[in-house]
């Protein structure tokens, strides 16, 4: 049975459980892709139909959006259940008629009503989501490590870990456990949906794009417990008769920095390969410091990682932790969600934030909901946003005082795609 439209908004509805395959096919089509029927069936079992929204025309799905419930690590040892928006797509011949706007505005209101303090997403293109109040809250770096500069492998006299090779599906539970621990060590770390794990563990050939199968390098401790892992492929970049390979790092997680270093050092000196390419990494990955020659590592690109949309200013500011005590009043501008608009007093005592709406107070800063989203995890300094004209200082010193409050203990990093 086809579900009724939601909330009186014409055309928008959730999907019935038997429609998950049609939903996934519509999402794939938005990317010009086509999943084989058996894969649609398998992936469909991992999808929660109640979290999938669509617009239909003439009975066919023409626009899609979905969300996950994710647990996200927040600054100073806190965490929250947040919404991870995904599966956003509009049929190729139905674009620029406002379908994304219709779906997304509805979805943001619904996620706010569900109690999520904020929503996260990763964007296919950088120009889409700012207009909906999302700000870039974490960034991803792509690193290149040059084998000709990393030098000889140091003789490991003693190490708490030893390295082993495995196929990902053989060590699936260990990978999941390491990931669960690793994503709590950094603000922006988020639980990884089962559907993402499926792509790593099933490693369908369509994902390989001319590379090898996905390999796992795991660091195990003296009790044979997995302490870290790297998932990688070998990619043939040779032309003609020359043989040249690159190690493509798909994922590397290790809660213990020592285990991460061991994995990186091994990848950097892998036989057959001239270089390592590692996208989607943290900006403060200490990679450059692992080799005697810091020029062994180049940052090839920095791009937006997590876009964050605050749905509930009070709830969001109270959910994260703080490194210093103090207070500031923030005037928030939000064209889309009226409940966020106005002045909010943030008071921090013993690392806990209390946030209340205030009416007669002089704000320290005035900022859009997108700028607050960008600063929320502490990765984008408020002063930086102010210098870009995205935060207005209302009282002298207001930017510095508010920036000090919003700082995080560590550069945030979104640890997964979703
Ligand atoms: C991106 C996509 C979802 C947009 O859907 P759409 O229905 O054409 O978007 P709308 O007509 O509702 O446009 C809403 C606004 O976003 C803007 N916009 C839409 N796509 C954009 C793009 N790719 N880059 C910049 N702005 C974009 C529109 O100009 C419009 O602006 P305005 O309302 O401020 O005037 C659609 O083009 C698509 O499916 N693309 C391929 C898959 C994809 O990239 N999905 C997003 C995954 S994160």
Instruction: Parse the chain into domains and list their residue ranges.
Output: 12-116, 141-304, 311-406
Q: Is 418 a catalytic residue?
A: yes
* CATH homologous superfamily, domain 141-304: Gcn5-related N-acetyltransferase (GNAT) (3.40.630.30)
Distance (Å) from CA 127 to ligand 1 centroid: 9
**Protein residues with CB under 6 Å of any ligand 1 atom:** 30-31, 88-90, 95-101, 123-125, 127-128, 131
Structure tokens at 373: 């989203």
Phi-psi region of 59 (alpha: psi -120 to 50; beta: other; left: phi over 0): left
Q: Which atom of ligand 1 is nearest to the CA of 102?
A: 12
Q: Mutation test of ligand 1: which of 95, 108, 129 has the most ligand atoms closer than 8 Å to its C-beta?
A: 95
Is residue 132 part of the annotated active site? The answer reads: no
45 CA to middle of ligand 1, Å?
28
Tell me the CA–centroid distance for residue 112 and ligand 1, in Å: 22
Mutation choice for ligand 1 from 101, 129, 303, CB with most ligand atoms inside 8 A: 101
Tokens, residue 168: 């990902």
Other C-beta atoms closer than 10 Å to the C-beta of 163 total 18
The CATH superfamily of 12-116 is Gcn5-related N-acetyltransferase (GNAT) (3.40.630.30)
Equal fold, 12-116 vs 141-304: yes
Render 298-359 in DSSP notation, one character per residue: EEEEEEE--EEEES-HHHHHHHSB-SS-EEEEEEEE-SS-GGG-EEEEEEEETTEEEEEEES
Ligand 1 closest atom vs CA 100: 12
* pLDDT of the chain, 418 residues: tens digit per residue: 555 555 555 589 999 999 999 999 999 999 999 999 999 999 999 999 999 999 999 889 999 999 999 999 999 999 999 999 999 999 999 999 999 999 999 999 999 999 999 999 999 999 999 999 999 999 999 999 999 999 887 766 668 999 999 999 999 999 999 999 999 999 999 999 999 999 899 998 887 888 999 999 999 999 999 999 999 999 988 776 667 899 999 999 999 999 999 999 999 999 999 999 999 999 999 999 999 999 999 999 999 999 999 999 999 999 999 999 999 999 999 999 999 999 999 999 999 999 999 999 999 999 999 999 999 999 999 999 999 999 999 999 999 999 999 999 999 999 999 9
Q: Pick the catalytic residue from 129, 132, 232, 291.
A: 129
Distance of CA 97 from the midpoint of ligand 1 (Å): 9
State the burial class of residue 204 (Cβ atoms within 10 Å of its Cβ: 0-12, 13-18, 19+). Answer: middle
Burial code (b: 16+ CB inside 10 Å, e: under 16) for 291-312 equals: beeeebbeeeeeebbbbbbbbb
Residue 254: predicted pLDDT: 98
Q: Which atom of ligand 1 is nearest to the CA of 121?
A: 48
Work out which ligand 1 atom sits closest to the CA atom of 123.
Answer: 48
Atom of ligand 1 nearest to the CA of 91: 39
| Residue 208: predicted pLDDT | 86
pLDDT score, position 241: 66
CATH architecture classification, 311-406? 2-Layer Sandwich (3.30)
Ligand 1 centre distance from Cα of residue 258 (Å): 43
CA 62 to centroid of ligand 1, rounded, Å: 13
């Amino acid at each position: 049975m086809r579900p009724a439209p939601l909330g009186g908004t014409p055309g928008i509805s959730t999907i019935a459980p038997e429609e998950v395959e049609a939903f996934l096919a519509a999402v794939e089509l938005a990317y010009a892709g086509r999943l084989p029927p058996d894969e649609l069936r398998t992936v469909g079992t991992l999808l929660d139909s109640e979290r999938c929204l669509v617009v239909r025309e003439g009975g066919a799905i023409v626009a899609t959006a979905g969300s996950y419930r994710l647990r996200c690590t927040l600054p100073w040892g806190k965490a929250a259940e947040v919404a991870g928006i995904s599966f956003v797509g509009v049929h190729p011949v139905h674009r620029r008629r406002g379908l994304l706007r219709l779906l997304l505005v509805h979805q943001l209101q619904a996620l706010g009503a569900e109690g999520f303090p904020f929503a996260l997403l990763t964007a296919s293109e950088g120009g889409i989501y700012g207009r909906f109040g999302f700000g870039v809250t974490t960034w991803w770096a792509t690193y290149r490590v040059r084998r000709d500069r990393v030098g000889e492998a140091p003789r490991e006299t003693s190490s708490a870990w030893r390295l082993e090779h495995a196929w990902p599906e053989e060590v699936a539970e260990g990978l999941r456990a390491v990931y669960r621990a690793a994503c709590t060590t950094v603000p922006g770390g988020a639980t990884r949906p089962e559907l993402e794990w499926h792509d790593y563990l099933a490693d369908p050939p369509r994902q390989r794009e001319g590379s090898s199968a996905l390999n796992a390098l795991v660091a195990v401790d003296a009790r044979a417990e997995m302490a870290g892992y790297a998932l990688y492929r070998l990619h043939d970049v040779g032309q003609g008769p020359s043989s040249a390979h690159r190690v493509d790092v798909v994922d590397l997680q290790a809660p213990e920095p020592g285990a991460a270093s061991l994995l990186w050092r091994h990848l950097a000196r892998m036989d057959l390969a001239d270089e390592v390419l590692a996208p989607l990494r943290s900006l403060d990955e200490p990679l450059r410091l692992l080799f005697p020659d810091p020029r062994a590592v180049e940052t090839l690109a920095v791009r937006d990682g997590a876009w964050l949309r605050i749905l509930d200013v009070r709830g969001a500011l109270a959910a994260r932790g703080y490194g210093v005590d103090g207070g500031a009043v923030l005037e928030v501008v939000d064209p889309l969600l009226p409940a966020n608009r106005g002045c909010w007093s943030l008071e921090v005592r013993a690392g806990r934030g209390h946030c209340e709406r205030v009416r007669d107070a002089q704000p320290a800063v005035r900022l859009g909901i997108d700028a607050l989203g960008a600063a929320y995890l502490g990765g984008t300094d408020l002063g930086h946003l102010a210098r870009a004209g995205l935060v207005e200082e209302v009282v002298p010193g207001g930017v510095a005082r508010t920036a000090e409050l919003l700082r995080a203990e560590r550069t945030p990093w979104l640890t997964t795609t979703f």
